[in-house]
Amino acid sequence: MTRTVVIGLDGAGFELLEPWIEAGELPVLERIVEQGVTGELQSVLPPVTSPNWKAYATGKNPGKLGIFWWYNIDTANQRVYLPAERYHNHAEYWDRLAEQERVGVLGVPTTYPPKSVGEAYISGAPDADTTGFTAPTELEDELQEEFDYRVTIRRSLESETEAAYEEILDRIDSQFQVGKHLLDSHDLSFLQLTSFYINVLHHHFWDDERTLRAWKQIDDHLASFLTDDTNLVLMSDHGHAEIQTVFYLNRWLKQEGYLSFDTDVSSTLHQAGVTADRINETLANVDSYVPFDPQSIAGELVPDSLINRLPNSEGNVGRGKLDTANWEQTAAIASAQGPLYLNVTGSQYDSLRDELITKLERMTTPDGHPITQGVYRGENVYSGTYTEEWPDIVIDKAPYIHISDKLGGDEIFTRDHEMWRGVNTRSGLFAATGPMFTTGTIDDISILDLAPTLLHAHDCSVPSAMDGRIREAIFTEKKSG
């Protein structure tokens, strides 16, 4: 039986990996690149885990999904909300594959709660819960008993760096072990296995030895999938680059008079030494001495209205747009990485949007580099039914710029991020090898193309609602249909 295995590597890109491949550090990945077909996989805007994994799985752009970042901003109702109720509103391409193949899905973000598709369906980090993450439900006990399998990590890289790092390595290792187990024990002909936490290491450590160690671990696991009867696809939801400048978009909006917010509570907490970083560190230390999870209990007892106002060690507020924005005096507000929403109507709308686009297109970093590759109207980026909800402006940031949505503080630009070294880019990774695939390179391949292309590869009809196109060029021979 010929199998197809798709390995999703969150945040992977050739900018990070190519030097290690050339240095001989990742011999299996080098072999895959040399023997197969490769390309830079372009993500949808913004280049973030959510919505890109859902765009990949459905072949649809965010305008059809109603998912525009981890959190959507709804200015009409003055709220910021998680669109999790939409995660299963659209069929994923493996739903259709499961009608004729023995399918397993493991670890894909935005697939919680799990659904009954194929032989095994296991939700992924970072949004899955610690229980109830498998379908069928009894599979959870099997994975925990045989592999001590856990979806998410309990420790924080900010407060317990080394312990959290080792936990991440363990999560990556156990995920590949489970993937191989499912292939054999469930006789799968198609497996989607996605590793989320490698993305976390890119963010925090970029190209240092800790990230390389994790990639060597992944490289070792990839070797077991390089068999004569396996079509192996590697892909990512976005790429990464090293941060050169951080642009605080909401601070800029405030200074320009477009955004008003109240950080009095956050400032008072910071002055008193009450910060999110210190609370996380304290709870992590308590965790070693008590037979329960204090962080989970704290999350249940402390109201979101306070959590959203907790500053970090530098006094910046991260999640608190909902509780700190003064909506009546706010004309524009932004999420991280590029989506920007207007809070005006009528004749003000077009003039304000034109004004902001022009300013952002002309903006440069303190050392004179453009912060964007393009600034677009929402309707020129998205299509679909969620016309009233998609961002009014979408920034396609320059690769080495991180756009932060934090409120509070005065600096518009900083050289370094508080915690990260790596930042998301649109140029992700695509590589495929096996009897189905050709060799060489493919240009201009979108993350939206993978769902229709893989359906076509397995002689499944491609739904007309998918936005991607079939990329025949990656196959050894043209398929009919």
Distance of CA 436 to the CA centre of its chain: 28
What was the pLDDT predicted at 292?
44
Q: What percent of the chain shows pLDDT beyond 70?
A: 86
Please choose, from the candidates 338, 308, 332, 333, the residue with its C-alpha nearest in 3D space to the C-alpha of residue 320. 308
Mean pLDDT of all residues belonging to the chain: 89
CA distance 36 to 46: 29
CA distance 153 to 142: 19
* Residue 216 predicted with pLDDT over 80: yes
Mean of pLDDT values over 275-296: 46
What was the pLDDT predicted at 225?
97
For 3-241+423-474, CATH number?
A: 3.40.720.10
CA distance 70 to 51: 7
Ordered by start, the domain boundaries in the chain are 3-241+423-474, 244-263+317-416, 264-313
Which segment of 151-160, 238-247, 301-310, 447-456 scores lowest on mean pLDDT?
301-310
H or E element in which residue 411 lies: none
Beta-carbon contacts of residue 371 (< 8 Å; ≥ 6 apart): 245, 247, 360, 363, 364, 365, 397, 398, 401, 403
Confidence class of residue 114 from pLDDT cuts 50, 70 and 90?
very high
CB atoms within 10 A of CB 312: 20
Mean of pLDDT values over 1-15: 96
Mean of pLDDT values over 266-278: 45
* Residue 281 predicted with pLDDT over 90: no
Q: Is 440 helix (H, G, I), strand (E, B) or coil?
A: strand
Confidence class of residue 261 from pLDDT cuts 50, 70 and 90?
confident
Mean of pLDDT values over 163-171: 97
258 DSSP assignment: S
What was the pLDDT predicted at 445?
98
What was the pLDDT predicted at 298?
45
Mean of pLDDT values over 320-335: 82
What was the pLDDT predicted at 323?
57
What was the pLDDT predicted at 325?
86
Q: Does CATH number 1.10.357 belong to domain 244-263+317-416?
A: no
Mean of pLDDT values over 318-347: 85
Q: Between 315 and 50, name the one with better pLDDT.
A: 50
What was the pLDDT predicted at 388?
94
Q: What's the pLDDT tens digit per position in 391-435?
A: 999 999 999 999 999 888 889 999 988 899 999 999 999 999 999
Residues 322, 80 contacting (CB under 8 angstroms): yes
Q: What's the pLDDT tens digit per position in 22-60?
A: 999 999 999 999 999 999 999 999 999 999 999 999 999
Please choose, from the candidates 28, 221, 209, 208, the residue with its C-alpha nearest in 3D space to the C-alpha of residue 107. 221
Confidence class of residue 264 from pLDDT cuts 50, 70 and 90?
low
302 DSSP assignment: S
Confidence class of residue 479 from pLDDT cuts 50, 70 and 90?
low
CA distance 90 to 122: 18
Q: Token pair 């659904």 is at which residue?
A: 115
Do the domains 244-263+317-416 and 3-241+423-474 match in fold? no
Q: Between 308 and 387, name the one with better pLDDT.
A: 387
Confidence class of residue 1 from pLDDT cuts 50, 70 and 90?
confident
What residue type is 207 in one-letter code? D
Residues 454, 105 contacting (CB under 8 angstroms): no
By CB atoms closer than 10 A (0-12, 13-18, 19+), residue 8 is buried
Query: In angstroms, what CA-CA distances link 442 with 41, 56, 431, 446, 472?
Result: 9, 18, 10, 11, 10
Which segment of 16-25, 180-189, 411-420, 442-451 scores lowest on mean pLDDT?
411-420
pTM (predicted TM-score): 0.89
What was the pLDDT predicted at 263?
60
